[in-house]
Chain A
Amino acid sequence: MESSVVDAGRDTPVEWTDDLTRVPYRVFQDQDVYAAEQTKLFQGPYWSYLCLEAEVAGPGDYCSTFVGETPVIVARDRDGELYGFENRCAHRGALLALENRGNTKDFTCVYHAWSYNLQGDLTGVAFKDGIKGKGGMPDSFCMEEHGPRKMRIAVLHGLVFGSFSDDVPDIEDYLGDEITSRIARVLGGRTPEIIGRFTQVLPNNWKLYVENVKDSYHASILHLFFTTFELNRLSQRGGIIVDESGGHHVSYSAIDRDAEKDVAYADQNIRSESAYKLADPTLLEGFSEVGDDTTLQILSVFPGFVLQQIQNSVAVRQILPTGVERTRLNWTYLGFEEDTPEQREIRLKQSNLVGPAGYISMEDGCVGGFVQRGIAGAASQSAVLEMGGSLAESSESRVTEASVRGFWKAYRTAMNRQEEA
């Protein structure tokens, strides 16, 4: 069958190159691609970040959030365990929880008062037996056969993940040792306290934000705050870690106490010699976050989770697609119960670095939109990802797009996965 000129390219599968160096712009524009991601990826054998364990600490505590676009509830039952299930009544599909967080004995749908326990089991149907022998559900209706779909839940160092798939590996195997140990580095053995929550609505496809998080090449080019105010205090050493699947990464930098002051920037056509100084340089007077020399660690978990330590600003970010060209980015800023008052104040000061108004992150809020607008009309064209070669491997240089290629490696695996028969 011939397709018309207008439809050309629309119904055909996305065409990828053999290697990881090209990304067809269509994947950021296509409603069909977006719909396929919801089933293959977000409901596939992958772990999605849901909330912090601290947010569901006690019996009856719950959070409502999303896996991709699917609304879900995480609740702690009186047995002390966490349960995850769709935030959807099994009757006609209405939301069960209407608040982001709370404490409850059970969930009752407001529409027809079907009720569910904290494990997501249907426990009550209003007027099930009718009134005065009239009406009611048929005898054949079995409550055990109805309920919102349940998720597997995994907790790792206070982070709660969920998956609709029974095939997803255990969270430690999913992440691998290197990524797991880097999460432990920031969160292990400490009690996080939430010090603020902010939501940033991004005018772009969710994958453009994920690419940005994984893109260690842009950091010192797009974000000029440190360079302008000459705040790169010592030579830095660093690198990136890309896990076997490609989907998870860590980008880090640490104080290089042996090296001379790095002069690489002077050779580039990038602003560096600057007359500008901070009027209040106490902004960056921090402390060693966990007793080592690492001043920055950005860690991502496929498909849409970020754990960040930027100096003493620690936060988690949840990336939620809300449309082909719209993304919700939920920031949760963290302190720790163990903080001294002075350390807590440093965290508050350094919250200026990150978030929707962050000195070194506000650009990330708009640059995805610049791409989304830039590629309008270029569905047949592709992005180029050749910095640092064509592989998706760990590297001692951060001037590479290896972890961005890693994301596409994992993404292509997910999207090519055959549905189980």
Chain B
Amino acid sequence: MSMNDFQRIGRVQADYSRCIDEGPLERWPDFFVENCMYRITTAQNYSEGLPAGLVWANTRRMLVDRVSALREANIYERHTYRHILGQPLVLDENGDGIHAETSFLVVRVMRDGESDIFTSGRYVDRYVEVDGQLKIAERVVVCDSTNIDTLLALPL
């Protein structure tokens, strides 16, 4: 059965969010191409064209470093996420890849059982095909709210 772009992106998204929510997080950088762009920002920064990120990476290796830092260096209270994703909207497909947007809602569950909506937003993505597989060339995680509660450790 051949899948269209919509189905292929949906499948990558489902795999991606399962990787963060269920682990192993070490697999997370594998969803990206080597020279990827990954950035977590807010809708306000995004609309004003402000380029900084809560997380900002322009190589896949920087994502690898994020994971090792979370594992080996950073200190934060144990928690997990549950990503709930909307349907991907394929916006454009041209020479530089497939452009798509997908809404997300992330529930953060702390070790003491507190469970809250941590953030909502949209992924602004560009996918490219590498060896027959869709990889993320660019992902801007645009959080709707300006606020981050306490800290952001695990990626979105």
A residues whose Cβ falls under 8 Å from a Cβ of B: 194-203, 222, 224-225, 227-229, 274, 276, 278-280, 282-283, 333, 344-345, 347-349, 351-352, 355-357, 359, 362-363, 365-366, 369
Given known A-B contacts A195-B51, A197-B45, A362 and B65 have beta carbons under 8 A apart: no
Which of A203, A224, A274, A344 is close to B150, meaning CB atoms less than 8 Å apart?
A: A203
Binding-face segment, B3-11, B56-64, B90-98, B127-135:
B56-64
A199 near B56 (CB under 8 angstroms)? no
State the interface size on chain B (CB cutoff 8 A).
35
Contacts of B51 on A, CB cut-off 8 Å?
195-196, 344, 348
What is the minimal beta-carbon distance from A285 to any residue of chain B, in angstroms? Answer: 13
Which of B45, B56, B61 is close to A279, meaning CB atoms less than 8 Å apart?
A: B61
B residues whose Cβ falls under 8 Å from a Cβ of A: 40-42, 44-45, 50-59, 61-62, 64-65, 68-69, 72-77, 146-153
Which of B41, B74, B76 is close to A196, meaning CB atoms less than 8 Å apart?
A: B41
A351 near B53 (CB under 8 angstroms)? yes
Which of A196, A227, A228, A278 is close to B45, meaning CB atoms less than 8 Å apart?
A: A196
A363 near B64 (CB under 8 angstroms)? no
- What's the dominant secondary structure at chain A's contact region? mixed
What is the minimal beta-carbon distance from A47 to any residue of chain B, in angstroms? Answer: 25
Once the chains are docked, how many angstroms separate the CA of A300 from the CA of B8? 51
Once the chains are docked, how many angstroms separate the CA of A364 from the CA of B44? 24
Q: How many A-B residue pairs have CB under 8 A?
A: 119
Contacts of A363 on B, CB cut-off 8 Å?
74-76, 151
Once the chains are docked, how many angstroms separate the CA of A351 from the CA of B68? 18
Contacts of B68 on A, CB cut-off 8 Å?
276, 278-279
Contacts of A362 on B, CB cut-off 8 Å?
74, 76, 151-153
Contacts of A276 on B, CB cut-off 8 Å?
68, 72-73
Once the chains are docked, how many angstroms separate the CA of A257 from the CA of B56? 31
Which of B44, B45, B50, B65 is close to A283, meaning CB atoms less than 8 Å apart?
A: B65
Contacts of B40 on A, CB cut-off 8 Å?
357
Contacts of B42 on A, CB cut-off 8 Å?
197-198
Q: A229-B73, A366-B77 are known; give 7 further A-B pairs, CB within 8 A.
A: A194-B50, A198-B148, A225-B73, A228-B69, A276-B72, A280-B62, A280-B65
Given known A-B contacts A228-B72, A280-B65, A352-B56, A357 and B152 have beta carbons under 8 A apart: yes
A195 near B50 (CB under 8 angstroms)? yes
Residue of B nearest to A194 (CB): B50
**Can you list 19 A-B contacts (CB < 8 A)?**
A194-B50, A198-B146, A201-B148, A222-B75, A224-B72, A224-B75, A225-B74, A229-B69, A283-B65, A345-B58, A348-B52, A348-B53, A351-B56, A352-B57, A357-B40, A357-B148, A359-B74, A366-B75, A369-B150
Contacts of A282 on B, CB cut-off 8 Å?
59
What is the minimal beta-carbon distance from B44 to any residue of chain A, in angstroms? Answer: 7
Residue of A nearest to B112 (CB): A373
Given known A-B contacts A197-B45, A198-B42, A351 and B52 have beta carbons under 8 A apart: yes
Once the chains are docked, how many angstroms separate the CA of A215 from the CA of B65? 27
Contacts of A195 on B, CB cut-off 8 Å?
50-52
Residue of A nearest to B41 (CB): A196
B56 near A224 (CB under 8 angstroms)? no
B50 near A352 (CB under 8 angstroms)? no
